[in-house]
Chains A and B, each alone.
Chain A
Amino acid sequence: MKRTIFRNQLLPWLLLAPQLAITFIFFLWPAAQAVWQSFLREDAFGINSTFVWFENYRRLWGSAEYLNSMKVTLIFAVSVTVLSMGVALLMAVAVDRMLRSTRIYTTLLVWPYAVAPAVAGILWWFIFNPTVGIMPYVLGQMGIRWNHISNPDQAMTLVVIASAWKQISYNFLFFVAGLQAIPASLREAAAIDGAGPIKRFFTITFPLLSPTTFFLLVVNIVYSMFETFAVIDSTTEGGPAQATNIMVYKVYFDGFIGQNMGSSGAQSVILMLIVIALTVIQFRYVEKKVEY
């Protein structure tokens, strides 16, 4: 590391100030408010306010809806991660075999990432709309009755597809880069030793990709848990019967629609703890322990 010595004590602070101010105003201050809010019981307008210690948290553990939301989040996050990483890896391996057309395919496959989550949500909402959508019509021809408005499993399928679709591009880029970093000589040596393409993939390519895979695993879990709000909001709004009400959406719904700031605050504190835990795992465990 190169050390830069500032003569003026003030200058480094001044240079840091904008970033620090943004961090404080948009991250630390709201986070502190959420923590404070989570210990209060208040009416919507904040006229009556009582400090209730951990009452809001205690209620969450006793709430069937919240436990359901945790279960839904788990199923959702695992499905989105597996689907988006699986498809991305498949495509990356396919593109890696191309000689001249790699760039074109890469560019095309990255496009969905430029679509805003809300727009992606609306897109899939149209495609799967039970009344006017094309997919229910096609599925209907095949004898499958699609109605995610009343069918919880189909609703979950819809939000998983809509959320994973966007993330495939991102995963694909990293997998392609990871694949290109693997020396061709290793695979060629294995090929000379008589290993077929499938054996080569599982014994050479996949283990060598593990740093990329672990990194993407954490990124995708964080994505599916926290950044899919817009997809849920524009497709199912957490329904039917809470079947797609992931934790982030519930924070919004209880706080902004339900005006229950105490419970909403407690839920966001729990989410904050999960993010912190995931970050620690990524820095402490993934970045150090995965070796090749």
Chain B
Amino acid sequence: MKLMFTASAVAFAVSAATAQAQTEVQWWHAMGGELGAKLEEIVKGFNDSQSDYKVVPSYKGTYPETMTAAIAAFRAKQQPAIVQVFEVGTGTMMAAEGAIIPVHQLMADQGAAFDPAGFLPQVVGYYTDTDGNMLSMPFNSSTPILYYNKTVFEKAGLDPNTPPKTWGEMEEFSKKIIDSGAATCGFTTGWISWIQTENFSAWHNQPIGTMENGFGGLDARLTVNGPVQVKHWGNLKKWADEGIFKYGGPVGGDNAPPMFYSQECAMIMNSSASRAGVIANAKDFELGFGMLPYYDDVEGAPQNSIIGGATLWVLSGRPDEEYAGAAKFFEYLSSPAVQADWASFSGYLPITQAAADEMAGFFAENPGADTGLNQITLNAPTENSKGLRFGNYVQIRGIIDEEFEQLLAGSKDAQGALDGVVARGNALIEEFETQNQ
């Protein structure tokens, strides 16, 4: 007993001492490797810029691991003030009223400088409620683009400076490349769910679900089995059988980039944020960038692509001074200089117009680096191209992969596979709805 008293007295004294000096704000994130090092550099910049607050970043593993850790910590009342959550976790975080403090509210409560109009609507739109209030602070957002091998294009007799614009050209170019022997496969892709389903739908202005893709409430349901999506999945299966397209595996498609790097496949669709990695690996050939292809017979295509990546959520239940620190940190984080630095380094999209303007010099020096930004800002987002928001979406992404795999294996046709996505996905969405009532 005595020992316990002393221990707690010491703990109290220690915490009191740090509280006097600086308020620590815990930030749990999922940025490993070089991105993690850059993140720590940004945090250091903030900590050095003032003396009242100290942001403490902790790497918690992958996106799902970080989110799980934060939720478990919240249940044990040990939550960090700030946690980085990937875009598909948005539905879960949003529904947890009482567990989160929306960013617009945090900034208003703390009297921080905050101009919602300065943010790029295509980026923050994914994370706003139906009234346009920002719920979380975008940190790393990206969008899928097309990377292609100029050297192979040249060998195949194609113009190396003209990437395919439509899916028709995609097929035609691929056939030329294979027939000429320049490469054995036309194209591959990361993320069947994010790129070939969600972004594909937005890019063609097709709904993914009802009620503005789920933005309207918990009773929204998936409708991703429309004719345009069915046609595309059917084509992917046809192209896979013909050897034009090669599947890179579920989730992010880990096997897709090696196929592109080894020049087996001439083109790859992947995140704009993988730009640095692609450049580093494209040693033996010249690299080109293009926008995602579209079907020119679909009205309204191309619309605009949607984002992926992660945002920073503020969890409730921490002392008030930590929130003051969090608000200050968000102010710093969204400043044009910090944003431009982070976006130029990582390939993620700048989140404010001011930061995008600041990057003009960088874009001029690095051709193709602005492809993603141009693509998301191609048109003003419609209710089909703002993003999507459904509960249990992590598992639904898994279902999309599974149904696509069944399509490839030939046990289902495109309509059957997408019907499967809708039926199984909606069962999970219904479950989420009952859990959150």
Q: Which residues of A contact B (CB under 8 A)?
A: 41-48, 129-132, 149-152, 237, 239-242, 254, 256-260
Contacts and interface: CB of A to CB of B under 8 A. Distances in A.
Contacts of B64: 256-257
Contacts, number: 81
Contacts of A150: 247, 249, 405, 408-409
Nearest to B75: A46
B74 A130 contact: no
Given A149-B247, A257-B64, A259-B68, A45 B392 contact: no
B255 A152 contact: no
Interface stretch (B91-99, B104-112, B131-139, B206-214): B91-99
16 contacts: A41-B434, A43-B95, A45-B74, A47-B96, A131-B255, A149-B248, A149-B249, A149-B255, A150-B409, A237-B250, A240-B402, A241-B401, A241-B405, A241-B406, A242-B402, A256-B64
Q: Which 4 A-B pairs have the closest CB atoms?
A: A241-B402, A45-B99, A240-B405, A149-B249
B259 interface: yes
Interface string B370-410: 00000000000000000000001011000001110110110
Contacts of A257: 64, 68, 394-395
B437 A258 contact: no
A89 B408 CA distance: 40
Interface residues of B, number: 35
B249 A48 contact: no
A260 B71 CA distance: 12
Interface in B70-111: 71, 74-75, 92, 95-99
A227 B436 CA distance: 34
A48 B435 contact: yes
A41 B435 contact: yes
Interface of B: 64, 68, 71, 74-75, 92, 95-99, 247-251, 255, 258-259, 262, 392, 394-395, 401-403, 405-406, 408-409, 431, 434-437
Nearest to A132: B258
Given A42-B435, A45-B71, A258-B395, A240 B250 contact: yes
B74 to A, nearest CB: 6
Contact of B409 (A42, A152, A258): A152
A47 B98 contact: yes
A237 B254 CA distance: 13
Contacts of B434: 41
Nearest to A151: B409
A44 B402 CA distance: 24
A62 to B, nearest CB: 10
B138 to A, nearest CB: 21
Contacts of B406: 241
Nearest to B256: A131
Contacts of B71: 44-45, 259
A22 B71 CA distance: 26
A46 B98 CA distance: 11
Contacts of B401: 239-241
A241 B394 CA distance: 15
Contacts of B408: 150
A48 B437 contact: yes
Contacts of B402: 239-242
A249 to B, nearest CB: 12
Nearest to B394: A257
Given A41-B435, A130-B255, A260 B75 contact: no
A151 to B, nearest CB: 7
A46 B317 CA distance: 14
Contact of B96 (A45, A130, A131, A256): A45
Contacts of A132: 258
Contacts of A151: 409
Contacts of A48: 435-437
Contacts of B97: 47
A41 B437 CA distance: 11
Contacts of A152: 409
A43 B435 CA distance: 5
Given A45-B99, A131-B255, 5 more contacts: A44-B96, A45-B96, A240-B401, A257-B64, A260-B392
